A and B are shown apart, each in its own frame.
Chain A
Amino acid sequence: MKDKYILGIESSCDETSASIVKNGTEEISTVVLSQMDIHKVFGGVVPEIASRNHVENITMVIEETLEKANMELKDIDAIGVTYGPGLIGSLLIGLQAAKTLSFTHDKPLIPVHHIAGHIYANKLVTDFKFPLIALVVSGGHTDLIYMEEEYSFKKIGGTLDDAVGEAYDKVAKVIGLAYPGGPIIDKLAQIGNDTYTLPAPLDDDSNNFSFSGLKSAVINLVHNEEQRGNIINQEDLAKSFQSRVIYILTKKTMRVLEEYGVSTLLLAGGVSANKGLREEFAKLCSERNINFVVPPMKYCTDNAAMIASSAYYAYEKGLTADLSLNAIATTSLEKIGDVKSE
């Protein structure tokens, strides 16, 4: 079979990225231009600033990706692009660039759901054994996905309010940590002790998550302590918060694995970089003979390699779009088959 080279383009939040991946598994070249330092001063991503930066950088990022691969646009077999979910103004830039290249070079256009991208980041390091369960944890998502076969997704649980990464960043802000605070909480938790009393979030029989109650509990605790004139122990509070998060994520995920009789767990999304979460899952999975797959750090955050990989498998399934493909801010992973009708 002839090798297939897919150009992936990702611009759903504050990273402008392009990548070329061969046959869905072999990363040839990737460029990720992160705007994190630009948004840092604002304490979070400012959508209009993100859009402005994407349009400034998009062609340079694609050019550098091709140069690194020593390839030209004509050598590409298809173009994969994130169409959602994400910040609409940001998504639009990658989407217009991808559609334009599809037109100028007459290449198939493949719509990629951002979460499918996060899951398929794992393809860049290992093959998948089906059926499997994927837990996608990031600043925008907390989803439990059941995959019976290649590129088939069934959502079996998710957050009812805040995404886990969102809760991390908000808690970090309240404890006085810099943005983005998630990784700092993880670091502090490594040296802290679980001393603060915090509720276990939505500890029930459902497969769903809720982090806004836990977040509010931390905010209240910090305010109360401040009023009493007590100083917060950042390490201990980080550890206490992270312990509750890890407890509920691992508990519900391990239960779902058993319920569905599945022996492979994929962790994906930005929060999968969390050391505490990785270690706990690794321990629990090894105890129960579950094959645990987690992407290397560089594939955890937003990148176009995962979009190109995902696009390869979407293409294999015949999922392509015409030039009327639009960006969608919120869209379910289960709707990827009918992108055009949305």
Chain B
Amino acid sequence: MKYLFIDTSTHDLTVAVLSNEEILGISTSHNTNEHSKYALTDLENTFKKAKLTPNDIDKVMVVNGPGSFTGIRIGVTIAKTFAWALKKDVIPVSSLLGYALGYSGYDYYVSVLDARRGYVYGAIYNSNYEVVLGEQYIIIDELNNVISSLNGDILITGDIDINDTGTSPILIDAVRIINYYKNKQAVPAHSLNPHYLKRVEAEEKMMEVIE
């Protein structure tokens, strides 16, 4: 089984081609903030390294959020276009669970992404990566309250410090992510969409007016 993995949810851009658990080609460009420019060239280079053509892929896995709106749209657009054009399966991957899978050996994993104004996109998983606190747009203090109620070794990973215990950097482990997601239900390419976890501000204001 051959997989294409794409993550554009953070400042780092990861593209990988795998055959089962073997990485045939991987590209991680750090902190470019130009995913729009480099995603496809990285993809092209990764296929070259792997000596595969796009049609050799069986399943596409893409991180569809939460995360930078523009970032996840780039990954999702590429994944859904790729999957639709070549009639391949596509499976959406949660950014927050994906980050948790970058680490092991803890009782709890807390994944956080800065959502500004005192908020984060956050989730908590247990040692088996099962959901303890589902993905949500949450006030940092509130998330810290949940964290302080947990007993055991806690790993916090993400792009923002939410308390004085420190936050470990985001590690993308494509092999573990694919292993975790490989038997999940694929979605039709047309209906693959970013998972924003947050409405557009203009819509929120409109809702306030209506309420």
Interface residues of A (CB under 8 A from B): 41-42, 46, 48-49, 51-52, 55-56, 58-60, 62-63, 73, 89, 92-93, 95-97, 99-101, 103-105, 322-327
Q: How far is the CB of B25 from chain A (nearest CB, A)?
A: 14
Chain B contact residues (Cβ within 8 angstroms of A): what range?
20 to 34
Interface pair A89/B70, CB less than 8 Å apart: yes
Secondary structure class of chain B's binding surface, majority of residues: helix
Interface pair A92/B36, CB less than 8 Å apart: yes
The contact string, 1 if C-beta is below 8 Å from chain A, for chain B 122-160, is: 000000000000000000000000000000000000000
Secondary structure class of chain A's binding surface, majority of residues: helix
Q: How far is the CA of A95 from the CA of B206 in the complex (A)?
A: 30
B37 surroundings in chain A (CB, below 8 A): 324-326
Interface pair B189/A323, CB less than 8 Å apart: no
Interface pair A105/B85, CB less than 8 Å apart: yes
Asked if B80 lies at the interface with its beta carbon under 8 angstroms from chain A, I say yes
Knowing A97-B77, A324-B41 are in contact, say whether A46-B200 is a contact too (CB < 8 A).
yes
Interface residues of B (CB under 8 A from A): 34, 36-41, 43-44, 54-55, 69-70, 73-74, 76-78, 80-82, 84-86, 189-190, 193-194, 196, 200-203, 206
Q: How far is the CB of A73 from chain B (nearest CB, A)?
A: 6
Knowing A59-B189, A103-B43, A104-B54 are in contact, say whether A96-B202 is a contact too (CB < 8 A).
no
B44 surroundings in chain A (CB, below 8 A): 103, 323
Interface pair A104/B40, CB less than 8 Å apart: no
Closest residue of chain A to B39 (Cβ to Cβ) is A96
Closest residue of chain B to A50 (Cβ to Cβ) is B200
Interface pair A100/B85, CB less than 8 Å apart: yes
* 15 residue pairs A–B, Cβ–Cβ below 8 Å: A41-B206, A62-B81, A62-B84, A92-B73, A92-B74, A93-B77, A96-B39, A97-B77, A100-B82, A101-B85, A103-B44, A104-B85, A324-B37, A326-B36, A326-B37
Partner of A56, one of B84, B193, B206: B193
B41 surroundings in chain A (CB, below 8 A): 322-324
Interface pair A59/B40, CB less than 8 Å apart: no
Q: How far is the CA of A3 from the CA of B142 in the complex (A)?
A: 63
